[in-house]
Amino acid sequence: MFGYVGVAVAGGYLAINGTITVGNIQSFIQYNKQFTQPINQIAQISSMLQAMIAAAERIFGFLEEPEEVETSKENKKVETLKGNVTFDHVKFSYDGETPIIKDFNSNVQEGQKIAIVRSNRCWKNNHG
């Protein structure tokens, strides 16, 4: 940015004095662009590397989490479970601060499936 300003100011002064032409100023602007292009590419690569490092830290942090402990004393097979399920004022948040599901209520009868679809605060109970 400063290079372009410097070339324009110095080039304008020299062009007024007749030392160089407007074509010479354009050439210097092109040289400046060619000079700064690798620097800009290095900055972009550095930004991508920082994003990759941050993503890797999140992945490794997740992988290092301890496994959840089995809290059930009895092992039950899901296939043998039968009955109705009631969702009563269910709330859900990934981080504990930003709610994803707020005050969800539904009654699911045996043999029905439920699908929760989020679309701009629109919750849909899909039976079938």
Query: Is 50 part of any domain?
Result: yes
Specify the pLDDT at position 51: 96
Is residue 127 located within the same domain as residue 94? yes
68 in a domain, yes or no? no
- Per-residue pLDDT band at 127 (split at 50, 70, 90): very low
Residue 23 lies in domain:
2-63
113 in any annotated domain: yes
Q: How far is CA 20 from CA 3, 11, 13, 31, 42, in A?
A: 18, 7, 9, 16, 33
Kindly state whether residues 41 and 18 are assigned to the same domain: yes
Please tell me the predicted confidence (pLDDT) of residue 117: 64
Does 70 map to a domain? no
Predicted pLDDT at 118? 58
Secondary structure of 75-113 as H, E, C letters:
CCCHHHCCCCEEEEEEEEECCCCCEEEEEEEEEECCCCC
Judge if 80 and 36 occupy the same domain: no
Structural domain total, the chain? 2
Domain-embedded: residue 89: yes
- Give the model's pLDDT for residue 97: 87
Q: What is the pTM of this model?
A: 0.41
